[in-house]
Amino acid sequence: MTRERFDLLICGGWVIDGTGADRYRADVGVREGRIAALGDLADAQATQVIDARGRIVAPGFIDTHTHDDRYLSIDPGMAAKLSQGVTTVVTGNCGISQAPWRPGWRREVPAPVNLLGNDASDFPFASFGAYLDHLDRHPAAVNAACLVGHTSLRAAAMADLDRPATATEIDHMQVLLREALQSGAIGLSTGTAYPAAMPATLDELTAVASVLRDHGGLYASHIRDEGDRIFEALDEAFEVGKAASAPVLISHHKLIGPRNHGRSEQTLAHITEASQRQQVALDCYPYVAGSTILRKDRLAVSSRVIVSKSVPYPEYAGRDLHEIAQHMGLTPEDAVDALQPAGAIYFIMDEADVERILAYPGTMIGSDGMPHDPAPHPRLWGTFPRVLGHYCRVVGLFSLEQAVHKMTGKPAAYFRLPQRGRVAVHHAADLVVFDADTIADTATWASPTSQAEGIDSVVVNGVVAWQAGAGTGARSGRVIRPERR
Ligand code: ZN
């Protein structure tokens, strides 16, 4: 018998395959970027060997909610993500994507599109296809699956964003979305909670989203209201999804403000009921604070506000808003104006809601990290190890197999990412080797970019991209184009 030969052999670990099934002992043989064999491969030869004894071998994690559109190009090592075991990021969430953009069309980058870049020159792609081609030609260390943002479509099609789109503008957005889906976008996101998309009516949303029906693709919604009017907002997202025959993804599901704390019991029941009629899933990050642009309407519902970025006052990043306001001799409201463009972290949620939503079977894990903030929310560096360490091992919210499923097999199936999210023969060799006993987030409010512990190795398309606490320099990520229905 000839000895089998692999490019990479991961030996002696416990495989958690991403389906939710129980772990089992197996070696993993990788050839030409794919998983070629599973089982007892003690007799095989390999160019490179990873000793995984005492470790878990799982599919690489899929970060279902990111704003990494431009981070992929400007920091292709993607350390914030790779260091957590993430091998695929879903970009273009909350209605904002780096493409398409009309060069010369507007000088100012409207909020919240400016979460991705402050300057018009940060948006060089006139079409979504051009953006994906660029990523194809300049791969990052992780894979990307890319959504198109409705607010970005508005910014390309409309001169003024403070009103509903006209029929001609809707036509224009449909053309841009069609081009994006044909080029390999995985779907459409909206963010009607933000002023730049707030005036969009249900008719505008359903008209734009209707393009999804012909091309496949998912509908991700940062819903209009995560506070007092959350049920209407959820129903609007369900409506849009139904009209477009598209699976719905409710982004970063949460309940904002003390008055709404505890209501996740009802929202989850409502979501379960909707999922009898249509496909619905959620994503969630494992923290009681949110983060987005700095806005006054969040102050009253937050118990604490930390400024994560200020373009005119970079020295204030990482400090509490009330402290900054005192220092500037302003009211907190006036300080919000003075600091713009700016980002912030808001303590607005209740721990019981976070845990209930995380544990819900329809929930996937998405960091919503802000890679361009100088003092980012710690979710950028900590989300996945925090779910596996704190919420799985310490709190016992779910089994390790269930936690891994929420990060791998479930999102791969929901986003229709072909041959991803499972440890199975013929699947892409996106893999993470970690220590279930020590995996932990270390990023905190005070030290938000601290690297997680317990991740041994991360493999992206068969290439070792992270090992011994550092990136290897590999850039083996790809654009993942979806399977079409
Ligand atoms: Zn959002």
pLDDT in tens, 396-446: 999 999 999 999 999 999 999 999 999 999 999 999 999 999 999 999 999
Q: How far is the CA of 419 from the centre of ligand 1 (A)?
A: 28
Q: How many helices (H) and strands (E) does the chain have?
A: 15, 22
Is beta strand 342-347 parallel, antiparallel or unpaired with respect to 305-310? Answer: antiparallel
pLDDT of residue 249: 98
In the numeric block, the tokens 């053309």 are attached to 175
Its CATH architecture, for the domain 294-346, is 2-Layer Sandwich (3.30)
Q: How far is the CA of 95 from the centre of ligand 1 (A)?
A: 8
The CA-atom distances, in angstroms, between 379 and each of 208, 284, 433, 448, 452 are 31, 11, 21, 8, 11
In the numeric block, the tokens 């009103």 are attached to 163
- CB neighbourhood size of 469 (10 A): 11
From first CA to last CA, the distance across the chain in angstroms is 43
Beta bridge partners of 292: 344
Q: How far is the CA of 463 from the centre of ligand 1 (A)?
A: 32
Give the integer Cα–Cα distance in Å for 462 and 476. 8
- The whole-model pTM stands at 0.97
Q: How far is the CA of 249 from the centre of ligand 1 (A)?
A: 12
By the 8 A CB rule, do 429 and 462 touch? yes
Q: How far is the CA of 66 from the centre of ligand 1 (A)?
A: 9
By the 8 A CB rule, do 458 and 443 touch? no
Q: How far is the CA of 93 from the centre of ligand 1 (A)?
A: 7
Q: How far is the CA of 90 from the centre of ligand 1 (A)?
A: 13
Q: How far is the CA of 191 from the centre of ligand 1 (A)?
A: 6
**Cα angle for residues 240, 242, 245 (degrees, 5° grid):** 110
Q: How far is the CA of 260 from the centre of ligand 1 (A)?
A: 18
The CA-atom distances, in angstroms, between 268 and each of 235, 258, 368 are 13, 18, 20
Q: Which of 373, 420, 385, 318 is nearest to 85 (CA)?
A: 385
Q: Which token pair is 77? A: 């090592």
5-59+424-438+452-471 adopts what CATH topology? Urease, subunit C; domain 1 (2.30.40)
pLDDT of residue 1: 53
Cis peptide before 100 (omega within 30 of 0): yes
Its CATH architecture, for the domain 61-288+349-414, is Alpha-Beta Barrel (3.20)
pLDDT of residue 216: 86
By the 8 A CB rule, do 345 and 294 touch? no
Strand order of the sheet with strand 5-11? 34-39, 27-31, 5-11, 45-51
Neighbours of ion ligand 1 (CB under 5 A): 94, 222
pLDDT of residue 302: 95
Q: How far is the CA of 379 from the centre of ligand 1 (A)?
A: 14
Low-confidence ranges of the chain (pLDDT < 70): 1-2, 484-485
Q: How far is the CA of 472 from the centre of ligand 1 (A)?
A: 32
Q: How far is the CA of 368 from the centre of ligand 1 (A)?
A: 7
Give the integer Cα–Cα distance in Å for 231 and 135. 38
pLDDT of residue 3: 84
What DSSP letter does each residue of 329-343 carry, written as one string?
TS-HHHHHHHH-SEE
Q: How far is the CA of 351 from the centre of ligand 1 (A)?
A: 19
Element (H, E) at 2: none
Structure letter (DSSP) for residue 101: -
Helix, coil or strand: residue 463: strand
Q: How far is the CA of 319 from the centre of ligand 1 (A)?
A: 22
Q: How far is the CA of 192 from the centre of ligand 1 (A)?
A: 9
Q: How far is the CA of 153 from the centre of ligand 1 (A)?
A: 16
Helix, coil or strand: residue 396: coil
Across 187-199, b (16+ Cβ under 10 Å) vs e yields: bbbbbbbbbbbeb
pLDDT of residue 338: 97
Instruction: Return the domain boundaries, the chain.
Output: 5-59+424-438+452-471, 61-288+349-414, 294-346
pLDDT of residue 103: 87
